[in-house]
Structure 1
Amino acid sequence: MGTIRKALNKNYIKGSFFVTGRFLEDRKSANLLKNMYKEGHEVGPHSDQHLLYATWEKRDSLLVTKEVFNKDLTENISKLHALGIQNIDKFVAPYEWYNKTITEWAKDVNLVLYNFTPGLRTAADYTFPAMGNKYMSSEAILEQLYKHESQFGLNGFIIIIHIGSDPDRTDKFFNQLEKLIKGLKDKNYKFVPLNEI
């Protein structure tokens, strides 16, 4: 996270970080996140135990009850509150996979559900070489992003980059953040907080 923090602060950009309760169990990571919140970066929940809410094959088929959803999310938010993180009103679903019911349940607890903008593959930065053709290198992710940008533009896009990934992925995409910021700034893009999109 130090690399991410440095790149954002150097470029005067406020990021939004959505983390699991599991992530917060690591004291060093939790303290770094707490400091980033104090610097003005937004921090919110990503589910406590990173639950899969719906099947991959049939998105409308739920794998959790509302009670399980609420309990897991409440535990995640409680851990954030324990770090002094307040005013939580946004949420990113685990696996970035959800359906209309999950959106409604999040709304019932005063959270707006966000996700990356379709068309970009930056969320594939969780992959690692042993995954075969699912794996995308950081170079391939950047190439896809710039190709998409040249065809459609990126105005209003939400770009997700994982702050953690499998240890078998040695090519961490967050190490390309500085390069990505510079490349998009050179194309006259401005980075804004989620509520300004």
Structure 2
Amino acid sequence: MSASVPSSPLPAPAPASVLDLAPVVPVVVVRDAADAVPLARALVAGGLPAIEVTLRTPAALDAVRAIVAEVPDAVVGVGTVITPEQVAEAVEAGARFLVSPGWTDVLLTAMRESGVPFLPGVSTTSEVVALLERGVREMKFFPAEAAGGTAYLKSLAGPLPQARFCPTGGVGPGNAREYLALPNVGCVGGTWMLPESAIEARDWGRVEALAREAAGLRDGA
């Protein structure tokens, strides 16, 4: 699905599936909201339109608002969502998808009622089955490497083929292709295209180059 609407100041509608926008979703920690727009532009230019801004800093929601206002080709979401209040704040800021590290029925209800796509976090088979019972088929697998990595996801594909995942946590350029090769993985989440040294130096050209490399992972680039 296209991430932008030509000749319109408004962002495109929320995607039907975040998992299908790009092979990698950058997981962004914004410490200075002034960096949000150039950072997002660099990621989009590199081919990574879906951007997860995590609620790990006070600047996160201001960063989301700035990206929504100034980078219409970005599909900006909010991650580390763990309460209904955060769901409401994220949607108010303009989030077009939500990501949680885990889930409860209360949080799941709030995310479902938000009206935007969401990826609840799972790390066990029982959690996956419980979400499937509730009609949720797309999930974040977290923390991916610590929870069993590609071997675990490969084991889930047989009995639970209807579940699709975005593995995050310990995923990088050295193992991303292995995840992306699995039939039940739509995309992966990671931070390697956002090295601290590049962010501190505001080297957006480097971020764009790393994003372009990540965007080509599924094609073997």
TM range (shorter): 0.3 to 0.5
Q: Which has the higher strand share?
A: 2
Q: Which has the higher helix share?
A: 1
